[in-house]
Structure formats: structure tokens, C-alpha cells
Amino acid sequence: MERDDTWICSEDIIASGVKPDGITFIAVLTACNHSGLVDLGFQIFNSMQSEHGVDPALDQYTCIIDCLGRAGHFQDVELLMEKMPYKDDPVVWEVVLSCCIVHGNVSLAERAAVELFRLDPESSTPYVLLANIYSSLGRWNDARAIRVWRADE
């Protein structure tokens, strides 16, 4: 476990005696994300409900999914995607999709893109991002298929 200023700060906030609320956890998880403290962030996220009785809201999910996704911890991302109650919010899927692009995770990128198509069929963003991930992996036919499919609509 990494121990640095973020660790001390997070522990201090949580242990300060003031009952942590959603805002406290956004602050702590944002700090973990910015410092790349993935394991600590995930541990704190998982303690929210079990130890502090705070239900993670969309903001906390977005933050931890971004943190895990940037680090390429896609199995944990997938776990959270399945249990999160915010499946109708495009922000989360955009975060998942952009992390997949960074790490070239096509299978998960496709799932995120499908959710984005479902939520906003008018938006061209998921089409463009998916075409880009195929192109970056040399999957030109898939990239072209998406462009054609899009142009047909």
C-alpha cells in the first residue's frame, strides 16, 4: 500500500471524527485519482457503504472508474459497471470508452459504445471514438464499417 501525503490526508479526513459524507469521498477519491493511488482509491470506494454507510453516487462512481480505467484495471471497472445503478448516465460510459482507447481495450470499448448509442442515438461521439480505436489497431474494415453504418442513418 502506498503511503504518501494523499494517504495521510485521506485517513485524516476519514478519521477526523466528522462523519464522512458524499462530498468527503469525492474529495478523497479525486485526490487518489490525481495521484494515481488506484488501490487505495478502490479500497476507500469499497469502504464507503460497508464502513461509513454512504451510498456511492454517480460522481464517486465516475471518479473511481476513471482512476481504475486509466491504470488499466478493467476487471475492476467491469465489476463496478455491473453493480452501479447509474447505467443511464452517459458520463460514465464516456469515461470507460476513453480509458479503453488509451489501453486499446476493444471488447470493453464496444460495450461502452453500445450503451452510448442506446442513450443518445444522435450523438456522433461514440461512433468517432470506436472508429478511432479500430483504426489505431489496424482494424480498417471495422473502422470503415462504422463510418458507413453511421452515414446510412
Binding site for ligand NAG (CB under 6 A): 30, 33-34, 62-63, 66, 74-75, 78, 103, 105, 107-108
Cα 20 to Cα 17, 43, 84, 121: the distances in Å are 8, 15, 21, 39
User: For residue 72, what is the DSSP state?
Assistant: T
Q: How far is the CB of 53 from ligand NAG (least distance, A)?
A: 23
Q: Which is nearer to ligand NAG, 39 or 147 (CB)?
A: 39
Q: Which residue in the shown chain puts its C-beta closest to ligand NAG?
A: 74
Taking alpha carbons only, the member of 135, 82, 112 closest to residue 120 is 112
Minimum CB–partner distance for residue 152 and ligand NAG (Å)? 29
| Strand, coil or helix: 153 | coil
Minimal distance, residue 151 CB to ligand NAG, in Å: 29
> Smallest gap, in angstroms, from Cβ of residue 72 to ligand NAG?
6
Q: Which is nearer to ligand NAG, 108 or 146 (CB)?
A: 108
122: three-class secondary structure by DSSP: coil
